[in-house]
């Protein structure tokens, strides 16, 4: 077969089975991120920071995003990024989930970056913010409520006038308090459009809300004739926002996997060390059964999360199905793992001093982020043409 014939055959491989295994490069990336998070103290350090009132670790974000370069994993090298894919970003999110790290990786390095990549990247208004996000010099946040699911794009709560001045209020915007730039969908004289707004500009106000999960605090964003820079309009803007929500939901499953993995590992470690009646409590058959059942669920969640990441990385036509499956399955598994972790730790698991409650709160918050499991099951039924009775 000639080289030209081989090139013609190659695209047929797009329907090949997804690769759920981790590559050597991904394992190396995991080791580097885990080492950084371990040096920073892990969940215990996060809990100590929350007691001091700090909800974002700017030093950790600088080390992770800028020094290590993970903020630009999804950005092509020619645009200032690392030229990697959703598979590598998924590995980072797994480790961030295991460490409960209070950094805006999902909101900035995944969702905001994907929005900008969906716009015309050769325009300075897009290329500038994208390069800043990829290099970790700034944090970007898409100004939509955190529960917004892919495929259910709401009408904008913000209006734009002919001069690009934005007015309106958006609630439940995750990590808005840590953002340097807001990517704001707005309705205006040219219809649906997407604007960039600096959080330091006049007429911009962010008010953190009372949150269950103190490591990813939502905020109310109020704009009063704030100056906006047009990024995209009409169909391009809608497609960019929809694609970003899909990528965010798909990679959120990897964060949920990390939560479940930590909870399972910590529970096994604790029950192997804690003794009762002269025996480790983990040797009791009832607890063995509970942890074995949880192990099976976590293993299945890993397959679902990896499938979603691989589908996003390869541009699979089944990406929407893979994301819906991952979110419908991984969200409840993360909650169940956190609940089991608290219960099987006994009295200490119920206290503020043990970090288990951080994982339960994040798991519950993630369960409604970017669409509930029920919403994703409904979407999956439509995608595979299997409507509910």
Query: Distance of alpha carbon 250 from its chain centroid, rounded?
Result: 8
As a whole number of angstroms, the distance between CA 30 and CA 92 comes to 7
Label each residue of the chain as H, E or C: CCHHHHHHHHHHHHHCCCCCCCCHHHHHHHHHHHHHHHHCCHHHHHHHHHHCCCCCCHHHHHHHHHHCCHHHCCCCHHHCCCCCCHHHHHHHHHHHHHHCCCCCHHHHHHHHHHHHHCCCCCCHHHHHHHHHHHCCCCCEEECCCCCCCCCCCCCCCEEECCCCEEEEEEEEEECHHHCCEEEEEEEECCEEEEEEEECCCCCEEEEECCCCCCCCCEEEEEEEEEECEEEEEHHHHHHHHHHHHHHHHHHHHHHHHHHHHHHHHHHHHHHHHCEECCEEHHHCHHHHHHHHHHHHHHHHHHHHHHHHHHHHHHCCCCHHHHHHHHHHHHHHHHHHHHHHHHHHCHHHHHCCCCCHHHHHHHHHHHHHCCCCHHHHHHHHHHHCCCCCC
**Beta carbons within 10 angstroms of residue 309's beta carbon:** 32
Residues 6+ apart with CB under 8 A from 18: 306, 307, 310, 311, 314, 316, 322
Residues of the chain with pLDDT under 70: 1-15, 388-389
Task: Please report the pLDDT score of residue 283 as a whole number.
Answer: 80
- Mean pLDDT, the chain, rounded, equals 92
Number of other CB atoms surrounding residue 256 within 10 Å: 31
**Sign of dihedral through CA atoms 140, 143, 144, 147?**
positive
Contact 312, 251 (CB under 8 A): yes
Radius of gyration of the chain (CA): 21
Beta bridge partners of 192: 187
Q: For residues 325 and 373, give the distance between their C-alpha atoms in angstroms, rounded to a whole number.
A: 9
State residue 6's pLDDT score: 37
What gap in Å lies between CA 254 and CA 73, rounded to an integer? 15
Nearest to residue 171, comparing CAs of 189, 152, 190, 154?
154
Distance (Å) of CA 382 to CA 245, 253, 306, 315, 377: 18, 20, 22, 20, 9
Using CA atoms, how far residue 389 sits from 225, 380, 384, in Å, is 48, 14, 14
Take residue 208 and report the two structure tokens written for it: 């953190």
Q: Is 255:96 a contact under the CB 8 Å cutoff?
A: yes
Q: State the first-to-last Cα distance of the chain, in angstroms, to the nearest integer.
A: 52
Candidates 63, 59, 77, 72; CA nearest to 32 is 63
């Amino acid at each position: 077969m000639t080289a030209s014939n081989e090139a013609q055959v190659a695209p047929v491989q797009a329907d090949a089975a997804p690769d759920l295994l981790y590559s050597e490069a991904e394992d190396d990336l995991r080791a580097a991120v885990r080492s950084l998070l371990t040096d920073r103290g892990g969940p215990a350090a996060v809990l100590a920071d929350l007691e001091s009132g700090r909800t974002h670790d700017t030093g950790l974000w600088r080390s992770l995003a800028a020094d290590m370069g993970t903020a630009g994993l999804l950005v092509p090298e020619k645009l200032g990024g690392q030229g990697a894919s959703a598979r590598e970003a998924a590995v980072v999110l797994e480790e961030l989930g295991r460490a409960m790290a209070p950094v805006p990786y999902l909101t900035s390095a995944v969702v905001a970056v994907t929005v900008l990549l969906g716009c015309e990247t050769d325009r300075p208004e897009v290329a500038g913010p994208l390069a800043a996000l990829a290099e970790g010099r700034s944090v970007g946040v898409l100004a939509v409520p955190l529960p917004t699911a892919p495929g259910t794009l709401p009408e904008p709560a913000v209006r734009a006038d002919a001069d690009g001045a934005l007015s309106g209020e958006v609630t439940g915007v995750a990590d808005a308090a840590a953002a340097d730039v807001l990517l704001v969908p707005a309705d205006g004289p040219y219809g649906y459009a997407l604007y960039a707004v600096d959080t330091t500009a006049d007429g911009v106000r962010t008010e953190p809300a009372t949150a269950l999960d103190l490591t990813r605090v939502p905020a109310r964003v109020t704009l009063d004739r704030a100056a906006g820079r047009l990024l995209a309009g009409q169909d391009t803007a809608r497609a960019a926002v929809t694609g970003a929500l899909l990528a965010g939901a798909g990679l959120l499953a990897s964060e949920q996997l990390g939560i479940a993995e930590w909870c399972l590992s910590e529970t096994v470690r604790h029950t192997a060390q804690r003794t009762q009646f002269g025996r480790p409590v983990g040797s009791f058959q009832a607890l063995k059964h509970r942890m074995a059942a949880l192990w099976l669920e976590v293993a299945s969640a890993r397959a679902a999360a990896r499938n979603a990441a691989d589908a996003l990385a390869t541009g699979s036509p089944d990406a929407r199905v893979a994301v819906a499956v991952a979110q419908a399955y991984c969200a409840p598994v993360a909650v169940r793992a956190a609940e089991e972790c608290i219960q099987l730790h006994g009295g200490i698991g119920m206290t503020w001093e043990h970090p288990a409650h951080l994982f339960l709160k994040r798991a519950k918050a993630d369960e409604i982020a970017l669409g509930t499991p029920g919403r994703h099951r409904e979407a999956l039924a439509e995608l595979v043409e299997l409507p509910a009775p």
